[in-house]
């Protein structure tokens, strides 16, 4: 059961005002818009759906589940192990750097709000370069420490991903804010379907297959003009 305090914590983590730096990343959308592949609301909706299914469901969301498990057990060795695994699955430099920046910033901000020996040990591991600190793993770790139920954390993570990409779409395509809200609303059934499917997934199910996305993420470095870091 999600307590009011835990729900407030989940809302705070998923709020665009939270200083993780996620607002500076389009997560590949900018290249798609630049190449004319996403130019309206239906295109944005298709992009977000593909992103959730190809890169979130069997990758980030499973890593969040594992992070919860290892944080609850205070098993920092296994947390470091899957952190290295996730690092190897992000071949595009900008996407990899974005995951690192937002993950580390998330950890540092939460540590300024909550006392946790385990999270402090994770931060020390990052400083000693024994750990990378990718966003899904840090989100899972801080969520468990804050007492946020896993299902609530996954919902807030998926929602904030959709909201962040929709916000980038407003600036890039461009779209009106009402169109962005319609897109977010229409993605809710997709989020709920993914949440239900995640329940049966574990470490053997980890995979990410989105070659078109990764190639365009790599092309982003060479765009003539850029609003976002990815």
Look at residues 220, 200, 187 and name the one whose alpha carbon lies nearest to residue 44.
187
Average pLDDT for 209-224: 88
Angle at 55 between CA 50 and CA 57, to 5 degrees: 95
Rg of the chain (C-alpha set): 17
Lookup: tokens for 206: 């980890």
Average pLDDT for 2-26: 91
Domain ranges of the chain: 38-211
3-state helix, strand, coil in the chain (%, to 5): 75, 0, 25
Look at residues 163, 42, 25 and name the one whose alpha carbon lies nearest to residue 90.
25
Q: Is the pLDDT of residue 1 over 80?
A: no
In CATH terms, is domain 38-211 a member of 1.10.4190.10? yes
**Residue 24 CB-density burial (10 A; 0-12 exposed, 13-18 middle, 19+ buried):** middle
Q: Write b or e for each residue in 25-52: b if 16 or more Cβ atoms lie within 10 A of its Cβ, otherwise e.
A: bbbbbbbbbbeeebeebebbbebbeebb
Measure the CA–CA gap between 111 and 125, rounded to whole angstroms.
14
Q: Is the pLDDT of residue 53 over 90?
A: yes
Q: What is the pLDDT of residues 62-75, one digit of tens each?
A: 999 999 999 999 99
Q: What is the pLDDT of residues 80-91, one digit of tens each?
A: 999 999 999 998
């Amino acid at each position: 059961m999600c307590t009011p305090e835990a729900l407030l914590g989940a809302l705070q983590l998923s709020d665009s005002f939270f200083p993780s730096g996620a607002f500076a990343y389009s997560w590949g959308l900018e290249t798609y818009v630049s190449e004319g592949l996403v130019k309206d609301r239906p295109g944005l909706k298709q992009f977000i759906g593909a992103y959730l299914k190809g890169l979130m469901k069997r990758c980030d969301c499973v890593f969040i589940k594992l992070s919860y498990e290892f944080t609850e057990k205070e098993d920092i060795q296994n947390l470091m192990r899957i952190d290295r695994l996730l690092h190897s699955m992000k071949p595009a430099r900008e996407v990899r750097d974005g995951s690192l920046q937002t993950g580390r910033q998330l950890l540092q901000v939460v540590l300024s709000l909550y006392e946790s020996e385990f999270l402090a040990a994770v931060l020390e591991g990052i400083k000693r370069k024994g750990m990378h600190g990718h966003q899904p793993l840090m989100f899972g770790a801080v969520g468990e420490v804050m007492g946020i139920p896993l299902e609530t954390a996954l919902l807030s993570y998926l929602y904030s991903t959709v909201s962040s990409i929709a916000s980038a779409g407003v600036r890039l395509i461009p779209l009106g804010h009402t169109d962005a809200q319609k897109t977010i609303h229409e993605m809710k059934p997709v989020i709920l379907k993914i949440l239900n499917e995640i329940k049966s997934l574990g470490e053997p199910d980890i995979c990410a297959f989105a070659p078109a996305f990764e190639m365009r993420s790599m092309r982003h470095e060479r765009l003539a003009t850029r609003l976002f870091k990815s």
